[in-house]
Structure 1
Amino acid sequence: MQNKGFWLVGILGVTLDQVTKRWAAERLLPGPEIQLWPGVFHLTYVENTGAAWSLFADSAQLLKWVSLGVAVALALLALRSSLSLWEQAGYGLVWAGAVGNGIDRFLNGYVVDFFNFVWIGFPVFNLADVCINLGVACLVVGLWQGGPKKSLRKSD
Protein backbone atom coordinates (compact mmCIF):
# COMPACT_ATOMS: atom_id res chain seq x y z
CA MET A 1 0.00 0.00 0.00
CA GLN A 2 1.37 3.39 -0.93
CA ASN A 3 1.02 6.60 1.05
CA LYS A 4 0.98 4.82 4.41
CA GLY A 5 1.43 8.17 6.18
CA PHE A 6 -1.89 9.37 4.74
CA TRP A 7 -3.74 6.38 6.18
CA LEU A 8 -1.91 6.42 9.51
CA VAL A 9 -2.54 10.13 10.11
CA GLY A 10 -6.08 9.90 8.76
CA ILE A 11 -7.21 6.91 10.82
CA LEU A 12 -5.55 8.28 13.95
CA GLY A 13 -7.26 11.65 13.39
CA VAL A 14 -10.71 10.10 12.91
CA THR A 15 -10.26 7.88 15.96
CA LEU A 16 -9.18 10.74 18.24
CA ASP A 17 -11.95 12.97 16.89
CA GLN A 18 -14.68 10.42 17.54
CA VAL A 19 -13.34 9.50 21.00
CA THR A 20 -13.19 13.15 22.08
CA LYS A 21 -16.67 13.89 20.71
CA ARG A 22 -18.10 10.89 22.56
CA TRP A 23 -16.38 12.08 25.74
CA ALA A 24 -17.78 15.60 25.21
CA ALA A 25 -21.31 14.27 24.71
CA GLU A 26 -21.11 12.10 27.82
CA ARG A 27 -19.34 14.60 30.08
CA LEU A 28 -20.48 18.02 28.87
CA LEU A 29 -24.04 17.43 27.67
CA PRO A 30 -25.69 16.68 31.01
CA GLY A 31 -23.81 19.33 32.93
CA PRO A 32 -22.27 22.76 32.68
CA GLU A 33 -19.23 23.60 30.63
CA ILE A 34 -15.78 22.93 32.07
CA GLN A 35 -13.72 26.07 32.56
CA LEU A 36 -10.14 24.91 32.01
CA TRP A 37 -8.92 28.51 32.08
CA PRO A 38 -11.83 30.64 33.32
CA GLY A 39 -12.72 33.41 30.92
CA VAL A 40 -10.21 32.15 28.34
CA PHE A 41 -10.68 28.49 27.36
CA HIS A 42 -13.71 26.34 28.20
CA LEU A 43 -15.07 23.00 27.08
CA THR A 44 -18.64 23.72 25.96
CA TYR A 45 -20.96 21.21 24.27
CA VAL A 46 -22.51 22.55 21.03
CA GLU A 47 -24.50 20.79 18.30
CA ASN A 48 -23.52 22.51 15.05
CA THR A 49 -25.83 21.94 12.06
CA GLY A 50 -23.64 24.13 9.83
CA ALA A 51 -20.04 24.18 8.72
CA ALA A 52 -17.04 26.10 10.08
CA TRP A 53 -18.05 29.08 12.23
CA SER A 54 -21.65 27.86 11.90
CA LEU A 55 -21.74 28.93 8.27
CA PHE A 56 -24.56 27.33 6.32
CA ALA A 57 -26.51 26.73 9.55
CA ASP A 58 -29.13 24.03 9.22
CA SER A 59 -27.46 22.64 6.07
CA ALA A 60 -26.52 19.27 7.58
CA GLN A 61 -28.16 17.33 4.74
CA LEU A 62 -26.03 19.07 2.10
CA LEU A 63 -22.89 19.14 4.24
CA LYS A 64 -22.94 15.40 4.93
CA TRP A 65 -22.69 14.76 1.20
CA VAL A 66 -19.93 17.36 0.83
CA SER A 67 -18.01 15.60 3.64
CA LEU A 68 -18.47 12.25 1.91
CA GLY A 69 -17.37 13.67 -1.45
CA VAL A 70 -14.21 15.21 0.02
CA ALA A 71 -13.40 11.99 1.88
CA VAL A 72 -13.85 9.81 -1.22
CA ALA A 73 -11.85 12.19 -3.45
CA LEU A 74 -8.94 12.30 -0.99
CA ALA A 75 -8.98 8.53 -0.50
CA LEU A 76 -8.82 8.05 -4.28
CA LEU A 77 -5.95 10.54 -4.44
CA ALA A 78 -4.06 8.56 -1.80
CA LEU A 79 -4.73 5.26 -3.58
CA ARG A 80 -3.74 6.47 -7.05
CA SER A 81 -0.95 9.01 -6.51
CA SER A 82 2.50 9.06 -5.05
CA LEU A 83 2.41 11.78 -2.41
CA SER A 84 5.27 13.48 -0.59
CA LEU A 85 5.40 13.15 3.20
CA TRP A 86 3.96 16.66 3.62
CA GLU A 87 1.15 15.82 1.19
CA GLN A 88 0.43 12.54 2.98
CA ALA A 89 0.21 14.34 6.33
CA GLY A 90 -1.78 17.24 4.90
CA TYR A 91 -4.28 15.28 2.86
CA GLY A 92 -4.53 12.64 5.61
CA LEU A 93 -5.46 15.28 8.17
CA VAL A 94 -8.01 16.93 5.86
CA TRP A 95 -9.44 13.45 5.17
CA ALA A 96 -9.66 12.80 8.93
CA GLY A 97 -11.55 16.06 9.43
CA ALA A 98 -13.98 15.34 6.59
CA VAL A 99 -14.61 11.79 7.80
CA GLY A 100 -14.87 12.77 11.47
CA ASN A 101 -17.40 15.53 10.87
CA GLY A 102 -19.10 13.44 8.18
CA ILE A 103 -19.72 10.61 10.65
CA ASP A 104 -21.44 13.09 12.96
CA ARG A 105 -23.56 14.51 10.15
CA PHE A 106 -24.69 11.10 8.90
CA LEU A 107 -25.39 9.65 12.37
CA ASN A 108 -26.70 12.69 14.23
CA GLY A 109 -27.59 15.38 11.69
CA TYR A 110 -25.14 17.74 13.43
CA VAL A 111 -21.47 17.99 14.40
CA VAL A 112 -20.41 17.95 18.04
CA ASP A 113 -18.17 20.94 18.87
CA PHE A 114 -16.68 21.61 22.29
CA PHE A 115 -13.40 23.59 22.23
CA ASN A 116 -14.35 27.15 23.20
CA PHE A 117 -11.92 30.10 23.27
CA VAL A 118 -14.24 32.37 25.24
CA TRP A 119 -11.72 35.19 25.62
CA ILE A 120 -11.54 36.00 21.91
CA GLY A 121 -15.09 34.93 21.04
CA PHE A 122 -13.85 32.30 18.60
CA PRO A 123 -16.52 29.87 17.38
CA VAL A 124 -16.68 26.55 19.23
CA PHE A 125 -14.87 23.79 17.29
CA ASN A 126 -13.69 20.17 17.51
CA LEU A 127 -10.69 17.97 16.75
CA ALA A 128 -11.85 17.31 13.16
CA ASP A 129 -11.71 21.07 12.56
CA VAL A 130 -8.20 21.15 14.04
CA CYS A 131 -7.20 18.31 11.69
CA ILE A 132 -8.45 20.21 8.64
CA ASN A 133 -6.53 23.35 9.60
CA LEU A 134 -3.34 21.44 10.41
CA GLY A 135 -3.73 19.56 7.13
CA VAL A 136 -3.93 22.77 5.13
CA ALA A 137 -0.87 24.06 7.01
CA CYS A 138 1.05 20.88 6.11
CA LEU A 139 0.11 21.29 2.45
CA VAL A 140 1.31 24.91 2.47
CA VAL A 141 4.60 23.90 4.13
CA GLY A 142 4.96 21.11 1.58
CA LEU A 143 4.53 23.59 -1.27
CA TRP A 144 7.01 25.96 0.34
CA GLN A 145 9.55 23.18 1.01
CA GLY A 146 9.23 21.73 -2.48
CA GLY A 147 9.54 25.05 -4.26
CA PRO A 148 8.92 25.28 -7.98
CA LYS A 149 9.21 22.03 -9.92
CA LYS A 150 12.55 21.72 -11.64
CA SER A 151 12.77 20.80 -15.27
CA LEU A 152 14.22 17.39 -16.11
CA ARG A 153 16.03 18.79 -19.14
CA LYS A 154 19.56 20.06 -18.77
CA SER A 155 20.09 23.63 -19.80
CA ASP A 156 22.52 24.19 -22.67
Structure 2
Amino acid sequence: MPILLLAAVTIAVIVIDQWSKQYIQAHMLPGMSLPVISNVFHITYVLNPGAAFGILENQRMFFIVIALFMLALSGYFFYRISATFRLLRLGISLLAGGAIGNVIDRVQTGYVVDFFDFRVWPVFNIADIAIVTGVGCVVYSLLFLPFPQEHQTK
Protein backbone atom coordinates (compact mmCIF):
# COMPACT_ATOMS: atom_id res chain seq x y z
CA MET A 1 0.00 0.00 0.00
CA PRO A 2 1.55 3.34 -1.01
CA ILE A 3 2.78 5.54 1.82
CA LEU A 4 0.64 8.50 0.70
CA LEU A 5 -2.51 6.37 0.91
CA LEU A 6 -1.56 5.23 4.40
CA ALA A 7 -0.87 8.83 5.44
CA ALA A 8 -4.29 9.75 4.05
CA VAL A 9 -5.88 7.00 6.18
CA THR A 10 -4.18 8.36 9.30
CA ILE A 11 -5.20 11.94 8.52
CA ALA A 12 -8.78 10.89 7.67
CA VAL A 13 -9.13 9.12 11.02
CA ILE A 14 -7.88 12.23 12.85
CA VAL A 15 -10.13 14.63 10.90
CA ILE A 16 -13.29 12.51 11.20
CA ASP A 17 -12.61 11.84 14.88
CA GLN A 18 -12.04 15.48 15.75
CA TRP A 19 -14.96 16.69 13.66
CA SER A 20 -17.34 14.19 15.29
CA LYS A 21 -16.19 15.18 18.78
CA GLN A 22 -16.58 18.88 18.03
CA TYR A 23 -20.05 18.24 16.64
CA ILE A 24 -21.09 16.39 19.80
CA GLN A 25 -19.65 19.12 22.04
CA ALA A 26 -21.42 21.86 20.05
CA HIS A 27 -24.83 20.16 20.08
CA MET A 28 -25.02 18.28 23.37
CA LEU A 29 -24.30 18.73 27.06
CA PRO A 30 -22.18 16.22 29.00
CA GLY A 31 -24.35 13.30 30.12
CA MET A 32 -27.01 14.00 27.49
CA SER A 33 -28.18 10.90 25.62
CA LEU A 34 -30.20 10.68 22.42
CA PRO A 35 -31.71 7.30 21.51
CA VAL A 36 -31.08 6.21 17.94
CA ILE A 37 -32.50 2.73 18.54
CA SER A 38 -34.15 2.80 21.96
CA ASN A 39 -32.32 0.68 24.57
CA VAL A 40 -29.88 -0.56 21.91
CA PHE A 41 -27.89 2.37 20.49
CA HIS A 42 -27.72 5.93 21.81
CA ILE A 43 -25.54 8.95 21.17
CA THR A 44 -24.37 9.78 24.70
CA TYR A 45 -21.94 12.61 25.42
CA VAL A 46 -19.36 11.35 27.93
CA LEU A 47 -16.17 13.05 29.11
CA ASN A 48 -13.74 10.20 29.80
CA PRO A 49 -10.69 11.09 31.93
CA GLY A 50 -9.43 7.49 31.80
CA ALA A 51 -8.88 4.67 29.35
CA ALA A 52 -11.29 1.96 28.24
CA PHE A 53 -13.83 1.11 30.95
CA GLY A 54 -12.67 4.25 32.81
CA ILE A 55 -9.51 2.60 34.14
CA LEU A 56 -6.61 4.78 35.30
CA GLU A 57 -8.87 7.78 35.65
CA ASN A 58 -7.19 11.21 35.58
CA GLN A 59 -3.78 9.89 34.50
CA ARG A 60 -3.50 12.46 31.70
CA MET A 61 0.31 12.60 31.44
CA PHE A 62 0.59 8.81 31.57
CA PHE A 63 -1.77 8.44 28.58
CA ILE A 64 -0.04 11.19 26.62
CA VAL A 65 3.41 9.67 27.20
CA ILE A 66 2.20 6.15 26.31
CA ALA A 67 0.52 7.41 23.12
CA LEU A 68 3.60 9.39 22.05
CA PHE A 69 5.82 6.38 22.75
CA MET A 70 3.50 4.15 20.70
CA LEU A 71 3.52 6.68 17.85
CA ALA A 72 7.32 6.83 17.91
CA LEU A 73 7.52 3.02 17.80
CA SER A 74 4.98 2.91 14.98
CA GLY A 75 6.97 5.43 12.97
CA TYR A 76 10.20 3.57 13.62
CA PHE A 77 8.85 0.19 12.55
CA PHE A 78 6.59 1.42 9.76
CA TYR A 79 9.48 2.15 7.40
CA ARG A 80 11.10 -1.19 8.21
CA ILE A 81 8.02 -3.17 7.23
CA SER A 82 7.98 -4.36 3.63
CA ALA A 83 5.32 -2.79 1.42
CA THR A 84 4.05 -6.32 0.80
CA PHE A 85 2.66 -6.34 4.36
CA ARG A 86 -0.29 -4.14 3.37
CA LEU A 87 -2.67 -5.13 6.17
CA LEU A 88 0.04 -4.68 8.81
CA ARG A 89 0.88 -1.22 7.48
CA LEU A 90 -2.82 -0.30 7.33
CA GLY A 91 -3.21 -1.43 10.95
CA ILE A 92 -0.33 0.77 12.05
CA SER A 93 -1.86 3.72 10.17
CA LEU A 94 -5.23 3.21 11.86
CA LEU A 95 -3.56 2.87 15.28
CA ALA A 96 -1.61 6.09 14.71
CA GLY A 97 -4.70 8.03 13.61
CA GLY A 98 -6.71 6.85 16.59
CA ALA A 99 -3.92 7.53 19.07
CA ILE A 100 -3.40 11.04 17.71
CA GLY A 101 -7.14 11.73 17.83
CA ASN A 102 -7.37 10.81 21.50
CA VAL A 103 -4.08 12.54 22.40
CA ILE A 104 -5.39 15.80 20.91
CA ASP A 105 -8.32 15.60 23.34
CA ARG A 106 -6.11 14.77 26.31
CA VAL A 107 -3.68 17.61 25.60
CA GLN A 108 -6.46 20.16 25.05
CA THR A 109 -8.83 19.23 27.87
CA GLY A 110 -7.51 16.32 29.93
CA TYR A 111 -10.30 13.99 28.88
CA VAL A 112 -11.55 12.19 25.76
CA VAL A 113 -14.99 12.83 24.27
CA ASP A 114 -16.90 9.57 23.81
CA PHE A 115 -20.39 9.25 22.32
CA PHE A 116 -21.21 5.87 20.72
CA ASP A 117 -23.29 4.08 23.34
CA PHE A 118 -24.52 0.52 22.73
CA ARG A 119 -25.73 0.17 26.34
CA VAL A 120 -23.86 -3.12 26.88
CA TRP A 121 -20.37 -1.73 26.30
CA PRO A 122 -18.54 1.38 27.50
CA VAL A 123 -19.16 4.52 25.43
CA PHE A 124 -16.50 5.05 22.73
CA ASN A 125 -15.55 7.26 19.76
CA ILE A 126 -14.12 7.16 16.20
CA ALA A 127 -10.50 7.10 17.45
CA ASP A 128 -11.29 4.07 19.60
CA ILE A 129 -12.78 2.29 16.58
CA ALA A 130 -9.63 3.03 14.57
CA ILE A 131 -7.39 1.77 17.40
CA VAL A 132 -9.32 -1.49 17.84
CA THR A 133 -9.48 -2.06 14.07
CA GLY A 134 -5.76 -1.28 13.77
CA VAL A 135 -4.88 -3.74 16.53
CA GLY A 136 -7.04 -6.35 14.80
CA CYS A 137 -5.19 -5.79 11.50
CA VAL A 138 -1.79 -6.03 13.20
CA VAL A 139 -2.65 -9.17 15.18
CA TYR A 140 -4.24 -10.88 12.18
CA SER A 141 -1.23 -10.01 9.99
CA LEU A 142 1.27 -11.33 12.50
CA LEU A 143 -0.62 -14.52 13.32
CA PHE A 144 -2.24 -15.59 10.07
CA LEU A 145 -0.59 -14.04 7.03
CA PRO A 146 2.49 -15.72 5.57
CA PHE A 147 5.74 -13.85 5.40
CA PRO A 148 6.73 -12.97 1.84
CA GLN A 149 9.54 -15.13 0.43
CA GLU A 150 12.20 -12.46 0.90
CA HIS A 151 11.60 -12.52 4.68
CA GLN A 152 11.57 -16.25 5.26
CA THR A 153 14.66 -18.00 6.59
CA LYS A 154 15.96 -21.03 4.75
Give TM class, smaller chain.
0.7 to 0.9
| Alignment partners' CA distance in 2, 1:147 and 1:77 | 18
Matched, 1:42 2:36: no
What letter is aligned with 2:140? Answer: V
Aligned counterpart, 1:102: 103
| Alignment partners' CA distance in 1, 2:44 and 2:65 | 27
Contact 1:3 1:79 in 2 (8 A): no
What letter is aligned with 1:141? Answer: Y
Decide which moves more: 22-31 or 88-97. Answer: 22-31
Within-5 A mapping of 1:61-140: 61-83=61-83, 84-118=85-119, 120=120, 122-140=121-139
Aligned counterpart, 2:23: 23
Partner deviation per Cα, 1:89-137 (whole Å, 9 max, x = no partner)? 100011111100000000111111111111x2x1111111000111111
Contact 1:11 1:96 in 2 (8 A): yes
Identity fraction in percent: 33
Q: What SS is found at the alignment partner of 1:140? A: helix
Partner deviation per Cα, 1:43-82 (whole Å, 9 max, x = no partner)? 1111111111111111112111211221222123334543
Q: What SS is found at the alignment partner of 2:122? A: coil
Contact 2:60 2:111 in 1 (8 A): yes
Q: Aligned residue pairs: how many?
A: 150
Taking structure 1 as the reference length, what is the TM-score of the superposition?
0.85
| Alignment partners' CA distance in 2, 1:6 and 1:81 | 13
Contact 1:5 1:88 in 2 (8 A): no
What letter is aligned with 1:127? Answer: I
Which of structures 1 and 2 has the bigger CA Rg?
A: 1
| Alignment partners' CA distance in 2, 1:5 and 1:52 | 29
Are the structure 2 counterparts of residues 19 and 112 from structure 1 closer, same or farther at C-alpha, using a change threshold of 3 Å? same
Deviation at 1:140, TM superposition (A): 2.7
What letter is aligned with 1:110? Answer: Y
Are the structure 2 counterparts of residues 48 and 31 from structure 1 closer, same or farther at C-alpha, using a change threshold of 3 Å? closer
Q: What RMSD in Å do the two structures reach over aligned CA positions?
A: 2.1
Instruction: Return 5+ residue gaps in structure 2 as ranges.
Output: none
Instruction: Return 5+ residue gaps in structure 1 as ranges.
Output: none
What letter is aligned with 1:38? Answer: S
Taking structure 2 as the reference length, what is the TM-score of the superposition?
0.86
